Chain A
Amino acid sequence: MPDGIPGTKDEFVVQMKKITKVYPNGVAANQGVDFNLRRGEIHALMGENGAGKSTLMKMLFGLEQPTSGEIIVNGETLNISSPSVAIAHGIGMVHQHFMLVPSLSVAENMVLGMVPTKSGTFIDKNKAIEITKEYAEKFNLHVEPEAKVMDIPVGMKQKVEILKALVRGAKILIMDEPTAVLTTQETSELFVELKNLKNQGYTIVFISHKLNEIMEITDRLTIMRNGRSMGVYYTKDVTKEEISRLMVGRDVVLTVQKDKAVPKQTILKVRDLEYVNEWGKKMLDKLSFDVRAGEILGIAGVEGNGQKELVDMLFNFNIPNSGTVTVNGTSILGMPQQQIRNLGVSLVPEDRMIYGIAASASIEENVISDRSNEKRFNNGPLFNMKAIHEEADRLIKEYAVLCKSRKQHVGMLSGGNIQKVVVAREFSNDPVLIIADQPTRGIDVGATEFIRKKLVELSRSGIAVLLVSADLNEVMELSDSLIVMHNGQIAAYFDDTANLTDEIMGEYMLGLKHQSKEEVRRVCHD
Chain B
Amino acid sequence: MTKKRQIKFTLIRTLVAISIALLVAALLIFISSGGSTFAEKLNATKEALKQMLIGPLFRMSEKKGTSFEAKRFTEILAAMIPTTFTGLSVCIMFAANQFNMGAEGGIMLGAFVSAMAAIYLPLPAGLHPVVAVLLGGLAVGIVMLIPAVLKAKLNVSEMVCSLMLNYIIMYVIKFLMNTYLADKSKGQIMSFPFRETSVISPIVDNKIFSGSKLTWGFVIAMIAVVLCGLFMYRSRWGYAIRMIGINQDFSKYSGMNVAGTIILSQVVGGFLAGAGGGIEMLGRYNTFSWSALPGYGWTGITIAILAGNNPYMVPLAAFFMAYLSKGCDLMATYAKVPAQLISIVQGVIFLFFAAEQFLSGYKQKLVVQSAQEEIARQNAAKAQEG
Q: Do chains A and B touch in the complex (CB under 8 A)?
A: yes
Q: Is the Cβ of A337 less than 8 Å from the Cβ of B254?
A: yes
In angstroms, Cα B382 to Cα A55, docked, is 34
- A-side contacts of B236, CB under 8 Å: 372-373, 377-378, 383
The interface size of chain B toward A, counting residues with CB under 8 Å, comes to 20
Contacts of B236-294 to chain A: CB distance below 8 A: 236, 239-240, 242-243, 246-247, 249-257
Q: Is the Cβ of B234 less than 8 Å from the Cβ of A370?
A: no
Q: Is the Cβ of B235 less than 8 Å from the Cβ of A383?
A: yes
Nearest-neighbour CB distance to chain B for A308, whole angstroms, equals 14
- A-side contacts of B254, CB under 8 Å: 337, 369-370
Q: Is the Cβ of B253 less than 8 Å from the Cβ of A383?
A: no
Could you say which of B230, B236, B242 has the most chain A C-beta atoms within 10 Å of its C-beta? B236
Nearest-neighbour CB distance to chain B for A66, whole angstroms, equals 25
In angstroms, Cα B84 to Cα A516, docked, is 71
Q: Is the Cβ of A358 less than 8 Å from the Cβ of B235?
A: no
Contacts of A92-144 to chain B: CB distance below 8 A: none
In angstroms, Cα B246 to Cα A98, docked, is 29
Q: Given A355-B249, A360-B246, check contact A369 B234 (CB 8 Å).
A: no
Q: Is the Cβ of B247 less than 8 Å from the Cβ of A358?
A: yes
> Chain B: interface secondary structure?
helix
The residue of chain B having its C-beta at the shortest distance from the C-beta of A408 within the complex is B3
The residue of chain A having its C-beta at the shortest distance from the C-beta of B247 within the complex is A358
Q: Is the Cβ of A337 less than 8 Å from the Cβ of B242?
A: no
Contacts of B187-217 to chain A: CB distance below 8 A: none
In angstroms, Cα B235 to Cα A467, docked, is 35
The residue of chain B having its C-beta at the shortest distance from the C-beta of A342 within the complex is B255
Nearest-neighbour CB distance to chain B for A22, whole angstroms, equals 17
In angstroms, Cα B59 to Cα A140, docked, is 87
In angstroms, Cα B253 to Cα A295, docked, is 25
- A-side contacts of B230, CB under 8 Å: 382
- B-side contacts of A347, CB under 8 Å: 253
Q: Is the Cβ of A337 less than 8 Å from the Cβ of B253?
A: yes
Contacts of B212-238 to chain A: CB distance below 8 A: 230, 234-236
The interface size of chain A toward B, counting residues with CB under 8 Å, comes to 32
Contacts of A477-517 to chain B: CB distance below 8 A: none
Q: Is the Cβ of A338 less than 8 Å from the Cβ of B253?
A: no
Please tell me if A48 contacts chain B, counting CB pairs below 8 Å. Answer: no
Please count the residue pairs between chain A and chain B whose beta carbons lie under 8 angstroms apart in the complex: 67
- B-side contacts of A360, CB under 8 Å: 246
- B-side contacts of A356, CB under 8 Å: 250, 253
Nearest-neighbour CB distance to chain B for A374, whole angstroms, equals 9
Q: Is the Cβ of A369 less than 8 Å from the Cβ of B235?
A: no
Q: Is the Cβ of A338 less than 8 Å from the Cβ of B257?
A: yes
- B-side contacts of A357, CB under 8 Å: 247, 250
Nearest-neighbour CB distance to chain A for B3, whole angstroms, equals 9
Nearest-neighbour CB distance to chain A for B382, whole angstroms, equals 15
Please tell me if A161 contacts chain B, counting CB pairs below 8 Å. Answer: no
Q: Is the Cβ of A370 less than 8 Å from the Cβ of B255?
A: yes
Q: Given A337-B254, A358-B250, A369-B256, check contact A381 B235 (CB 8 Å).
A: yes
Q: Given A369-B251, A382-B234, check contact A338 B246 (CB 8 Å).
A: no
Q: Is the Cβ of A372 less than 8 Å from the Cβ of B250?
A: no
In angstroms, Cα B246 to Cα A372, docked, is 16
Nearest-neighbour CB distance to chain B for A26, whole angstroms, equals 13
Nearest-neighbour CB distance to chain B for A62, whole angstroms, equals 26
Could you say which of A315, A377, A381 has the most chain B C-beta atoms within 10 Å of its C-beta? A381
Mark each residue of chain A from 409 to 436: 1 if its CB lies under 8 Å from any CB of chain B, else 0: 0001000000000000000000000000
Q: Is the Cβ of B240 less than 8 Å from the Cβ of A372?
A: yes
Mark each residue of chain A from 209 to 221: 1 if its CB lies under 8 Å from any CB of chain B, else 0: 0000000000000
Q: Is the Cβ of A349 less than 8 Å from the Cβ of B253?
A: yes
The residue of chain A having its C-beta at the shortest distance from the C-beta of B370 within the complex is A412
Mark each residue of chain B from 301 to 344: 1 if its CB lies under 8 Å from any CB of chain A, else 0: 00000000000000000000000000000000000000000000
Mark each residue of chain A from 188 to 232: 1 if its CB lies under 8 Å from any CB of chain B, else 0: 000000000000000000000000000000000000000000000
Please tell me if A334 contacts chain B, counting CB pairs below 8 Å. Answer: no
The residue of chain A having its C-beta at the shortest distance from the C-beta of B236 within the complex is A372
The residue of chain A having its C-beta at the shortest distance from the C-beta of B254 within the complex is A369
Q: Is the Cβ of B246 less than 8 Å from the Cβ of A361?
A: yes
- A-side contacts of B242, CB under 8 Å: 361, 365
| 5 nearest A-B residue pairs (beta carbon) | A338-B255, A369-B254, A358-B246, A358-B247, A355-B253
Other than A369-B255, A382-B230, A382-B235, give 18 A-B pairs with Cβ distance below 8 A.
Answer: A336-B255, A337-B252, A337-B254, A338-B256, A354-B250, A355-B249, A355-B250, A355-B253, A358-B247, A359-B246, A359-B247, A365-B239, A370-B255, A372-B236, A372-B239, A372-B240, A377-B236, A383-B234
Question: B residues near A, CB below 8 A?
Answer: 1, 230, 234-236, 239-240, 242-243, 246-247, 249-257
